[in-house]
Structure 1
Amino acid sequence: MKSIHKNKAKELLKISLLAFVLTTTATSCSKDFLNLRPELSIPEDNMFDTPERILTHVNGLYASAKDGRLMAGRYYIYNDIRAEEFVNRTTNGVTGLAVYNHTNDAATTQVNNFWIQAYMTINRINKFLEDFDKYPGVVSTELEANYRGEAKFVRAWMYYALVHMFATPYAQDNGASPGLPLRLKAETNTENNSFPRSTVSEVYAQILTDLDEAETSLPADYSNANLRTTRAHKNTAIALKTRVYLAMGNFAKVIEEANKIVSPSAPFSAPTGVPHALQANIQSVFITPYTTTENILSMPFADTNAPGTQNQIGYYYNTGNGNVEYYLNTSTGSDVITGIYTDPQWHEGDSRKTLLTADYTTGGSTVRILTKWAGVSPFIDWVPVIRYAEVLLNLAEAEAEAGDQTRALALANAVHTRSDANNPLTSSSKTDLIEKILKERRIELLGEGFRAPDIMRRSETILSYGAGGEISPSSSSYIFPIPVGEQQTNPGL
């Protein structure tokens, strides 16, 4: 596996260096530049010798994560189409059909690609961190801490994405099951191909170690809205910790972390660092410039670095020269698998329904589609990784489970009434409150990759429209199998 990773890492490194070369040489007027050795052939020892090159590496870590096979779309799509919210329209095998049907296996190409890209990103991060040890003093101590924090944040993010997809949920046995190969050192050859799986608990512990260290060393803010939305800062690390602790069922820690960036009472906002807050209009989060204070972290795209054919979220869900691979499940009746769209909690006047969904007529029939990503081909809508609305709902669920239920309801209503002011949520019991918060997550975060993780972290049964029934926690398709490429090259599994 690592030999594959090494080759791909070199390819991406060359791409990132090329971007740097074009930037730094385009304005040169000297004829001598034509006779210089091309920048792409700089020796490895020189790839870390200027602040500009180091920044290129930092940007490269994010670029690796937002690859089309990973965080540009596939991660979010796979996690949503596995359950009941979407119906496949095209039976296109390349766009997640096996995942939708729960028939993907260890040899499914797209899932293999996801694993490879995630581990390649992790290896790039490990190499980057080790290079800082070898070449000290190139940037200031403060900037080095900033960069190290960003690298550790991205590594934690990658491991979280992998562990909840390819390993038994933490809640089933407190993380005692086999997890992932926990690679924390750079691999530049095949010597360490044989590498055992750490437990789920050990993987989560490493994720939290990385996020704690990232929080300590990351800046509180950046100089402009674009940077604070596309690069990790302190609040970004804290926000991701609330997601991770929620996945572990550690509600007390969710509350502790979320309270760092959520005020005690409404209107809820972040008291320190980037002043995160909900936007008055939900639609503003998904349109240019994509840099509101609700957008804690997003994956940016442009014409020059589109996610790639059949990877883009807009291509899957919307009509702007896309395929509408999946439309919303609007089924009703006790004898069918229903989605959140027809649930009574999602009222017809809710702006998330009026502004972010629409009718689409194809083949003589009309279906309802998700229009959060409204761009046209090549679908360069930014992908939201973490939104402040999620943090409020993470905290609401934790408070409902183990804290202040009054505050839990207020947090849930902050999200709900932003889009549906005429129908505030009420609760008759703890169980009722939790159920409504979980439904609110399905409404608010629809299409953003939360459905399967939210089911699995609570060790519940997946109700799959594609599979036509229930996928229990004991089912072989409840989690993804370790890809065949890893099995073949890693005898230590």
Structure 2
Amino acid sequence: MKKQLSILAIAAAGLFSSCEKFMDRQPQSQIAPDQYFNNDNELRFYLNSFYSAFPSAEGVYNEDIDNVVKQSLGDNITGRRTVPLTGGNWTWTELRKINFFLDNYNRVMPESQAGRYAGVAKFFRAYFYFDKVQRFGDVPWYSSAILQTDKAMLTKARDPRNLVVDSIVKDLEYAIEKIDDLTYPGISGPTTELVTKYTAMALLSRVCLFEGTWRKYRGETGWEALLTKGAAAAEQLMSSGKYKIYTSTPEKAYLELFASIAPIKDEIILAKNFSNELSVWHNVNYYTITSSYGKPGLDKQLVNSYLMADGSRFTDIPRYDTITFYAETQNRDPRLSQTIRTPGYARIGTTNPLVPDFGASVTGYQLIKFVTDMSFDSYNRSINSMPIFRYAEVLLNFAEAKAELGTLTQADIDKSIKLLRDRVGMPNLDLAAANASADPYMAAQYPGVTGANRGVILEIRRERRIELVMESYRWNDLMRWKSGQSLVRQFKGMYFPGVGQYDLDRNGKTDVYIYEGTKPTPVAGVQYFKLGSEIDLENGAAGGNVIINRSTTKTFNEDRDYLQPVPIQERQLNTNLSQNPNWVDGL
């Protein structure tokens, strides 16, 4: 028994592909339950190991679906994904650690005292399983740690996703009920470093929105109950008064939120922190200013989606698709100029204006979200915090769930979407006006949206995409909306009328020179690009948008690609595991 319960085994053993190897391994150290979980400190110490489940900084900012475009495209965009032999995110070690804790946490301490720690563990179990459901759909649900010799459980079939989602919801409801401030002595109320009941509310709103819309857009049952529960979880957090949208000035607040070294506790519910003192860094500055990471840039479709500063639609302007960079960036939603370099941009701590650098951004729409001052520009030296949960997402979850249910009111918008727009001085979203005149540009992106609330659902999707860009929500949003075909369109960048010299910020100096034939005599500060080799325009010398990956075929199989495949070796080890639809693995 002690061998099965060893801490080393918990850390090292997976439930499926590793089970045979684990059964042959002798532990180097052993701690049985009767030697541990005896007091608050031991329970807290064990819970600390669960935090590695959260994404790295790169897992937050390194988005590359259709919001952010790079030189090369991932296999999930090109349709070249295949069934992996091993790996493929079908890993279960973390679940074993969590379930081991839940099997033993109240062995000595009474439930009234230990239950709050179980709440944190159940949050992490819900977080673990939500990731698995998003990736694979049906997965085996395990509520207890499994004995190494329990072949029946190790070779269990996949449980229906409905059962798994119901179990996730129950875990989060337990977490919301049980976690209290006593879990973290000396900390009163919210903390951005540790899971709290408010983190559980935020995750419950996320889970229910995902699964509710997944079911709705596939004609499945049960979506109304999930969306209702998700909206209620969001509203519970909103009513707590613990969080608010960070504001300073409309021209800076959004940028400041993501450039802050320490997480801004007004809005950030939970963050991953970094530190020079602890030698824990990430790479976001270097990622955005060099050519080493695919030269990321916003896609033209997203840039077009930002509203004008007066709330009108940019895409309603005649010939909006032939407006050049300077003109297209004027009088827009201020979040645009706080997400990419626009005319007048200067690095934090400087006054020197900088134009977009095509050497670091393949579309020309160069990212500045998360970018801090120049002292952090070296490789892997950034230390600004990365949000894992923030209040803005909760407000968006609330509004979208209510809109999809058909119960959204103007009062609901006023306490959710309006707060995001107030931050940057944008007019509020008008429910009646949005539904009376759905935006055709948005409707073309999401043809699956229908019904009386079509217009406001499209506006909330616009708001979500703009507010959460570069925070890695986009893939799961497209998957739950059944909008995979959004990925197969041609990705584009800035518009140029043809070859010639361009002053991007209209300061009287050439910034970009697109030429044919022999390269002109270089002038300092000018970016030179040979048409057809160094830059590709939609219509060649006749001009057009910068085209990215023109020769790369993008496909999305509607009957297959919304779920990931189960790795081959896992199905060989456990013949009861079924494969996801239309993934061919030869078994």
**Normalised TM-score (structure 1):** 0.73
Match of 1:345 in 2: 307
1:48 pairs with one of 34, 37, 40: 37
Residue by residue, what CA displacement relative to the aligned partner does 1:400-431 show, whole Å, maximum 9, x if unpaired?
23213313432222212312x14443333132
Closer/same/farther in 2, CA of residues 412 and 98 from structure 1, 3 Å limit: same
1:369 pairs with one of 356, 359, 366: 366
Residue by residue, what CA displacement relative to the aligned partner does 1:196-231 show, whole Å, maximum 9, x if unpaired?
111111111011010011111011586448972122
Match of 2:399 in 1: 396
Match of 1:184 in 2: 143
Residue by residue, what CA displacement relative to the aligned partner does 1:40-61 show, whole Å, maximum 9, x if unpaired?
9464453434543322211011
Give the Å deviation of 1:471.
2.6
Closer/same/farther in 2, CA of residues 43 and 105 from structure 1, 3 Å limit: same
- The question of whether the paired residues in 2 share the 8 Å contact of 1:318 and 1:373 is answered with no
In the TM superposition, 1:233-382 aligns within 5 A as: 233-249=196-212, 250-263=226-239, 270-271=240-241, 275-280=242-247, 281-286=253-258, 287-302=260-275, 304=278, 306=280, 314=284, 317-319=287-289, 323-325=292-294, 327-331=296-300, 338=301, 340-345=302-307, 348=329, 349-358=332-341, 359-362=356-359, 367-374=364-371, 376=376, 377-382=380-385
Closer/same/farther in 2, CA of residues 397 and 418 from structure 1, 3 Å limit: same
Match of 2:19 in 1: none
Match of 1:24 in 2: none
Match of 1:37 in 2: none
Report SS of the residue matched to 1:144: helix
After superposing the two structures, state which structure 1 stretch, 465-474 or 482-491, moved more. Answer: 465-474
Match of 1:228 in 2: 191
- The question of whether the paired residues in 1 share the 8 Å contact of 2:205 and 2:234 is answered with yes
Closer/same/farther in 2, CA of residues 238 and 6 from structure 1, 3 Å limit: same
Higher relative contact order (CA 8 A, sep 6+): 1
Match of 1:490 in 2: 574
Match of 1:215 in 2: 176
Residue by residue, what CA displacement relative to the aligned partner does 1:176-202 show, whole Å, maximum 9, x if unpaired?
xxx112122213526333121111111
Give the Å deviation of 1:105.
2.5
Does residue 99 (structure 1) correspond to residue 99 (structure 2)? The answer is: no
Give the Å deviation of 1:458.
2.4
Report SS of the residue matched to 1:261: helix
Report SS of the residue matched to 1:292: coil
1:452 pairs with one of 475, 485, 508: 475
Distance 1:363 1:438 in 2: 28
Closer/same/farther in 2, CA of residues 126 and 360 from structure 1, 3 Å limit: farther
Count of residues in correspondence between the two structures: 410
Distance 1:187 1:86 in 2: 42
After superposing the two structures, state which structure 1 stretch, 145-154 or 363-372, moved more. Answer: 363-372
Distance 1:259 1:226 in 2: 18
- The question of whether the paired residues in 2 share the 8 Å contact of 1:126 and 1:184 is answered with yes
Higher-Rg structure is 2
1:121 pairs with one of 87, 94, 98: 94
Distance 1:6 1:43 in 2: 6
Report SS of the residue matched to 1:213: helix
- The question of whether the paired residues in 1 share the 8 Å contact of 2:10 and 2:97 is answered with yes
Closer/same/farther in 2, CA of residues 389 and 364 from structure 1, 3 Å limit: closer
Report SS of the residue matched to 2:366: strand
Does residue 199 (structure 1) correspond to residue 160 (structure 2)? The answer is: yes
Unaligned runs of 5+ in 1: 13-39, 168-178, 264-269, 332-337
Distance 2:113 2:61 in 1: 35
Closer/same/farther in 2, CA of residues 241 and 366 from structure 1, 3 Å limit: closer
Match of 1:428 in 2: 434
Distance 1:431 1:295 in 2: 31
Give the Å deviation of 1:390.
0.8
Give the Å deviation of 1:125.
0.4
Which letter does structure 2 place at the counterpart of 1:81?
A: D
1:412 pairs with one of 412, 417, 425: 417
Report SS of the residue matched to 2:566: coil
Distance 1:144 1:300 in 2: 27
Report SS of the residue matched to 2:120: helix
Report SS of the residue matched to 1:386: strand
- The question of whether the paired residues in 2 share the 8 Å contact of 1:47 and 1:53 is answered with yes
Give the Å deviation of 1:444.
0.5
Which letter does structure 2 place at the counterpart of 1:72?
A: S
Match of 1:172 in 2: none
2:126 pairs with one of 151, 156, 173: 156
Which letter does structure 2 place at the counterpart of 1:342?
A: N
1:471 pairs with one of 531, 537, 556: 556
Distance 1:325 1:108 in 2: 27
Give the Å deviation of 1:74.
6.4
After superposing the two structures, state which structure 1 stretch, 359-368 or 238-247, moved more. Answer: 359-368
Report SS of the residue matched to 2:165: helix
Distance 2:360 2:234 in 1: 47
- The question of whether the paired residues in 2 share the 8 Å contact of 1:238 and 1:257 is answered with yes
Residue by residue, what CA displacement relative to the aligned partner does 1:220-258 show, whole Å, maximum 9, x if unpaired?
586448972122222221121111111232332233222
Distance 1:284 1:461 in 2: 33
Task: Identify the structure with the greater helix proportion.
Answer: 1
Report SS of the residue matched to 2:399: helix
Distance 2:104 2:155 in 1: 24
Report SS of the residue matched to 2:371: coil
- The question of whether the paired residues in 2 share the 8 Å contact of 1:86 and 1:328 is answered with yes
RMSD over equivalenced CA pairs, Å? 3.4
In the TM superposition, 1:126-137 aligns within 5 A as: 126-133=99-106, 135-137=107-109
Unaligned runs of 5+ in 2: 14-27, 213-225, 248-252, 310-328, 342-355, 436-452, 492-548, 578-587
Residue by residue, what CA displacement relative to the aligned partner does 1:75-129 show, whole Å, maximum 9, x if unpaired?
5578x434x212123x4xxxx83234332323187xx36432xx22111100111
**Normalised TM-score (structure 2):** 0.62
Residue by residue, what CA displacement relative to the aligned partner does 1:353-405 show, whole Å, maximum 9, x if unpaired?
22232333417977323333336414444332211111111111122232133
Report SS of the residue matched to 2:133: helix
Report SS of the residue matched to 1:230: coil
Distance 2:9 2:80 in 1: 28
Report SS of the residue matched to 1:296: strand
- The question of whether the paired residues in 1 share the 8 Å contact of 2:255 and 2:370 is answered with no
Distance 1:450 1:123 in 2: 27
Report SS of the residue matched to 1:243: helix
